Structure 1
Amino acid sequence: MLSTVLLRQLTDQVQELHTTAESQLQPLPLPVLNFKPTPGSWSALECLEHLNRYSRFYNAELTTALHAQPQTATPHEVGFSWLGRKSYDTVRPDNGKKHRTITHMNPAGSQLGTEALHEFLQHQKCLLEMLAAAQGTNLNRKAVRIEFFKLLKLRVGEALQFVVAHEQRHLQQALRAAHQATTAPILVV
């Protein structure tokens, strides 16, 4: 895929993530945002906190990668390494297979307020700025360390695609949890 096309698609997807979280989650009361559909599942806010933890790492990595090279690249075909393709396939929203997250990225049991939602929205704004800054960057350059094994690196383009797909996947999960909270039967004692 051409770099300009990929960056436009990712920008559109991040704008949609921001708009969806703002319009569908932000108006909800805290008990709905903290509702867990099952004892072992995450609430909407836990889904967002999970994404925040990843964003804290990957936003810094991407910023460093984008500022480490001159903005001279012309539109080019974006390739994927085996690791990049595998990482993306694992988190893409239409992959229904559940995966365990690493312990320090698991927000289960966290006491969360709406600040998790506000932080998520801020990360989306930051990601939009990075996507704009990536226009003149060689997206095929391996420059983004992987969070759980920092010796391995993703290409800039595949890291951007991984981050956005991961956010889409867990925002969908957050929306499902919030929806189940509003449709759950009320127990009257």
Structure 2
Amino acid sequence: MKNPEFLAGLEAAVAALRTTVNTEFATLPLALLNQRLAPTSWSILECLEHLNRYSRYYNAAFAEALARRVAAPAAEVEVAYTWLGRKSVEMMRPTNTKKSSTLKRLNPLGSDLGQEVLTEFDLHQTRLLEVLAQAATTDLNRKAVPVEFFRLLKLRLGEALEFVVVHQQRHMQQAQRVQASLRAELAC
């Protein structure tokens, strides 16, 4: 996919994530936002807090990569993937039903969470939209973003941006499944 279409798709996905949080979760009572379906499963807020923890790292890494900006090639250039980038994106796609575990520091299970998680999530999405706008003038195929869990490895800027967005989509769907199950329980 060419750079402009690629970035437009990511921007639309981020906008949809914000809409979901603001329309489906923001009005729910705190008790429901914190309710788990099982002791080891995440609540809605834990899903979003997990994404906030990733965003704290990746938004800063994107800002740093953009500060070292390399001029973008012509708009006709295709976004390219390394083996690691393609594998990372495919593992996190919401259509991939294989479960994966997270690092302890990124696992919010059992955290004391409040409405501030929703506010922080929205702030991170606003920042990500700014990053996507800035990325339009830089080379998305340059290796520039260290991987969160092993910083010696770097992803290309484009594949790192896509990884973050599909990871967010995956956990947003998880939060929506929690919400649907809780509504079904309350209806009984």
Counterparts of 1:102 and 1:172, CA distance in 2: 20
Structure 2's unaligned 5+ residue stretches are none
- 1:181 aligned partner: 182
Counterparts of 1:36 and 1:14, CA distance in 2: 25
1:10-89 equivalent positions in 2, closer than 5 A: 10-75=10-75, 76-89=77-90
Asked if structure 2 preserves the Cα contact closer than 8 Å seen for 1:35 and 1:178, the reply is no
Matched, 1:124 2:125: yes
Asked if structure 2 preserves the Cα contact closer than 8 Å seen for 1:91 and 1:165, the reply is yes
- 1:109 aligned partner: 110
Counterparts of 1:96 and 1:53, CA distance in 2: 22
Asked if structure 1 preserves the Cα contact closer than 8 Å seen for 2:70 and 2:139, the reply is no
Query: Deviations 1:4-47 (Å, cap 9, x if unpaired)?
Result: 11000000110111111111110111111111011110000000
Name the % identity. Answer: 51
Asked if structure 2 preserves the Cα contact closer than 8 Å seen for 1:74 and 1:136, the reply is no
CA-atom RMSD in angstroms: 1.3
Structure 1's unaligned 5+ residue stretches are none
SS state at 1:19 partner: helix
- 1:141 aligned partner: 142
SS state at 1:166 partner: helix
After alignment, is 174-183 or 15-24 more displaced?
174-183
Query: Deviations 1:32-89 (Å, cap 9, x if unpaired)?
Result: 1111011110000000000000000000001111121244432111100000011001
Asked if structure 1 preserves the Cα contact closer than 8 Å seen for 2:79 and 2:158, the reply is yes
Aligned length: 187
SS state at 1:136 partner: coil
Amino acid at match of 2:46: E
| Post-superposition offset of 1:163 | 0.2
| Post-superposition offset of 1:140 | 0.2
Asked if structure 2 preserves the Cα contact closer than 8 Å seen for 1:145 and 1:153, the reply is yes
SS state at 2:78 partner: coil
Asked if structure 1 preserves the Cα contact closer than 8 Å seen for 2:72 and 2:136, the reply is no
Amino acid at match of 2:18: H
